[in-house]
Structures are given as structure tokens and as C-alpha cells.
């Protein structure tokens, strides 16, 4: 795993962070480039006087790159969107050991309740007696015990919440489900626990596929998890993809054609300001509309017409 580190002034930090996420990086953080020097400055404010821009005078914007993503492609896309260029002295790459950043980051997450029914229980909290037990009833508690491993998907992000709530409220009985971009497998596992008849989970990352298989086994549900080149033909009653807007737009023909007539397509990882352009990419196949919005993110839903 590698990080792309860019220098940028205060005024560009937030916009650059957004554009890097749009270009496909996994996560972005902003650091004070003057840290541990005489020019270091604190970033805080008295109540009611918080800084308008969450950045310093000189910043390092650190972007975590997924395996296989070309950093020059990321830079070119971000530069094009911002109307500027990045010179060689403006950025560099550094290696990040997988176990170091993932284990330290994931261990910060505690149990999460999603809606009225779903509880996400990280594996390191599984034996906590204060947490609710699963209830084998149609409207009972769905308890997902999760170890993200080296994959993303702890259930903490608003886009994951939105997809989980759609599944809890709208998943048809005994539906066939495709979770594309499955990460830790959280959505696929939820679908299986909520009554899906068959669930396929696909991701481009081998570690995500392995995490999904392990988590499905730990939760005693049957899921077929695989890489895209191992993914066979077929259509589904429900297709769910919680990725980012650019990949979702590129995947529009494939994802739309995986939905059976009368079936549903559920998309998230989309900012509110991106909803119209993502919906437009799917217009030849389905009419996508905002199902719910939360914290600046949306969940889009569309139903394929019956042939």
C-alpha cells in the first residue's frame, strides 16, 4: 500500500481532498507541513470562532492509494478538475505497511447501531454481554460480527448506513442480491441475514474478497465472493454498489444490465452535488432518484422496467 503526499496552500486543501477522493483514492488526511518547526501553528478556535477552513497555511494532503491505482492518473484528474498543475517537487510517494495502518485504524471502531434493527459488532467486541443478541424473527435484531481485515467497511460511514437501511426496509423476501465493491462484505452479509435467497459479492481487491468470505463464515451465512474475472453471468432482484461516483458512472452499463426486470439498483458513495450526474449515467437503463440523504451523501435507487 502507498500514500501520495502533496503540498498545497490553505485555500486548496479541502478542494484537493475532494478531488483526490473523486479520482479513486481510499482515504485522505491533511497535515500541517510546518509541524515540528518554528512555523507550526495550532488549528483550533474558541466556541463560535472555529476556523472557516480546516487547514493550515502550508499543508500536506495525504491520499491512501489502492493497489493498482496509478498516482500520475490521480494527479492528472485532480489537476484537471482544479485547473492547475502539480510539479514534481509538489508531491512524492511513500510506502505504508498494510498491517500497521489497517489494524490501528480499524481498532478505533466500536459497535454501531444502524436504524432500528441492524447492529455492526467489530470482532474485538463480539463477547461484550451488553450488546443485543440476534433475534430470529422477521423484524428482529440483525447482528453482524465483522472483522474488516485488510478491507474497508466497518459500517461507520453514512453511505454504508444508507445502504444498510435500504436493505432493512426494502429488500424483497428471498431476493437474489449482488453486492459490487463488497469491501468487508458488510452489505452482502446484511442481505443474507435479512432473507436474501442468494448473494454474490464482487470486489477488485483480493483482500476484500478474502475478508468477505471470512466474515460470511463467522456470521454463518452463505455468500459467493469473488474477483470480477471470476464473476459469471446473471441478473439479480437487487444490485447494490457503495463505491464512489466516478467508478459508478463507468460501471453504469454493467451494473444496470445486472438488474432483472422489475428489480432494484441501489447506489451510494455519491455526494449530494454528484447525484444528478450519476443518475444521468444510468438514464438509458433506469431512472435513478435520491432515496435518502445523510451528512452530504446520498443513496440513489432505481427500478428496472419490466420487459
What domains are defined for the chain? Answer: 2-96 (3.30.70), 157-303 (3.40.50.150)
The tens digit of pLDDT for each residue in 248-307 reads: 999 999 999 999 999 999 999 999 999 999 999 999 999 999 999 998 899 999 999 987
Percentage of the chain surpassing pLDDT 70?
A: 83
Cα–Cα nearest to 239, from 187, 289, 292, 283? 187
Predicted pLDDT at 45: 37
Classify residue 68 by burial, with Cβ atoms within 10 Å: 0-12, 13-18, 19+: exposed
pLDDT of 67 higher than 70: yes
pLDDT at 263: 97
Please count the other Cβ atoms lying within 10 Å of the Cβ belonging to residue 42: 8
For residue 196, the model assigns a pLDDT of: 95
Q: With cut-offs at 50, 70 and 90, classify the pLDDT of residue 111.
A: confident
Specify the higher pLDDT residue, 54 or 59. 59
Question: DSSP strand E in the chain: where?
Answer: 2-9, 27-32, 58-65, 91-95, 112-114, 118-122, 142-146, 176-180, 198-202, 224-226, 236-242, 259-271, 289-294, 297-303
According to the model, what pLDDT value does residue 34 have? Answer: 58
CB-neighbour burial class of residue 72 (10 A; exposed 0-12, middle 13-18, buried 19+): exposed
The larger pLDDT score, comparing residue 96 to residue 52, is at: 96
pLDDT at 221: 95
Q: Rounded CA gap, 30 and 38, in Å?
A: 19
d(CA 80, CA 69): 17
Query: From CA 135, how far away is CA 17, in angstroms rounded?
Result: 42
Asked whether residue 147 carries a pLDDT value surpassing 90, the answer given is no
Q: Which segment, 27-31, 64-68, 104-108, 170-174, is predicted with the most confidence on average?
A: 170-174
State the pLDDT at residue 108.
Answer: 57
Backbone angles phi, psi at 161, to 5 degrees: -55, -45
* Range scoring the smallest mean pLDDT among 28-32, 59-63, 159-163, 294-298: 28-32
Residue 47: all three cell numbers together: 466556541
Highest mean pLDDT among 120-124, 131-135, 277-281: 277-281
Residues written for the chain: 307
Whole-model pTM: value is 0.66
- Kindly give the residue spans of alpha helices, DSSP state H, lying in the chain: 13-22, 71-82, 98-106, 158-170, 186-193, 206-218, 245-250, 252-257, 275-282
Smallest Cα–Cα separation from 264: which of 229, 212, 302?
Answer: 302
Q: Return the closest-CA partner of residue 89 out of 8, 185, 153.
A: 8
> What cell does 179 get?
453486492
Measuring CA to CA, how many Å separate 189 from each of 49, 141, 233, 306?
Answer: 44, 14, 21, 28
Residue 98 has pLDDT above 70, yes or no: no
Amino acid at each position: 500500500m502507498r500514500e501520495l503526499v502533496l503540498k498545497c496552500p490553505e485555500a486548496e486543501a479541502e478542494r484537493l481532498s475532494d478531488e483526490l477522493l473523486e479520482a479513486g483514492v481510499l482515504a485522505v488526511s491533511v497535515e500541517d507541513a510546518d509541524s515540528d518547526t518554528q512555523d507550526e501553528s495550532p488549528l483550533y478556535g474558541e466556541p463560535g470562532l472555529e476556523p472557516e477552513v480546516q487547514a493550515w497555511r502550508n499543508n500536506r494532503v495525504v491520499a491512501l492509494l489502492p493497489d493498482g491505482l496509478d498516482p500520475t492518473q490521480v494527479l492528472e484528474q485532480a489537476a484537471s478538475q482544479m485547473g492547475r498543475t502539480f510539479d514534481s517537487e509538489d508531491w512524492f510517494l511513500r510506502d505504508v505497511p498494510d498491517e500497521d495502518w489497517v489494524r490501528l485504524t480499524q481498532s478505533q471502531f466500536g459497535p454501531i447501531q444502524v436504524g432500528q434493527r441492524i447492529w455492526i459488532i467489530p470482532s474485538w467486541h463480539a463477547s461484550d454481554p451488553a450488546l443485543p443478541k440476534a433475534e430470529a424473527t422477521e423484524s428482529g435484531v440483525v447482528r453482524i460480527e465483522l472483522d474488516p481485515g485488510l478491507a474497508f467497511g466497518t459500517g461507520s460511514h453514512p453511505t454504508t448506513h444508507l445502504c444498510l437501511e435500504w436493505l432493512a426496509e426494502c429488500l424483497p423476501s428471498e431476493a437474489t442480491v449482488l453486492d459490487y465493491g463488497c469491501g468487508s462484505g458488510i452489505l452482502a452479509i446484511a442481505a443474507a441475514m435479512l432473507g436474501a435467497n442468494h448473494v454474490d459479492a464482487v470486489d477488485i481487491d483480493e483482500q476484500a474478497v478474502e475478508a468477505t468470505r471470512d466474515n460470511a463464515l463467522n456470521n454463518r451465512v452463505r455468500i459467493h465472493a469473488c474477483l470480477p474475472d471470476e464473476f459469471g453471468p446473471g441478473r439479480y432482484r437487487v444490485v447494490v454498489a457503495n463505491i464512489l461516483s466516478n467508478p459508478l458512472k463507468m460501471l453504469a452499463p454493467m451494473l444496470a444490465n445486472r438488474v432483472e426486470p422489475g428489480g432494484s439498483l441501489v447506489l451510494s458513495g455519491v455526494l449530494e452535488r454528484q447525484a444528478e450526474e450519476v443518475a444521468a449515467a444510468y438514464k438509458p437503463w433506469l431512472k435513478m432518484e435520491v432515496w435518502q440523504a445523510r451528512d452530504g451523501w446520498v443513496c440513489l435507487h432505481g427500478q428496472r422496467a419490466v420487459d
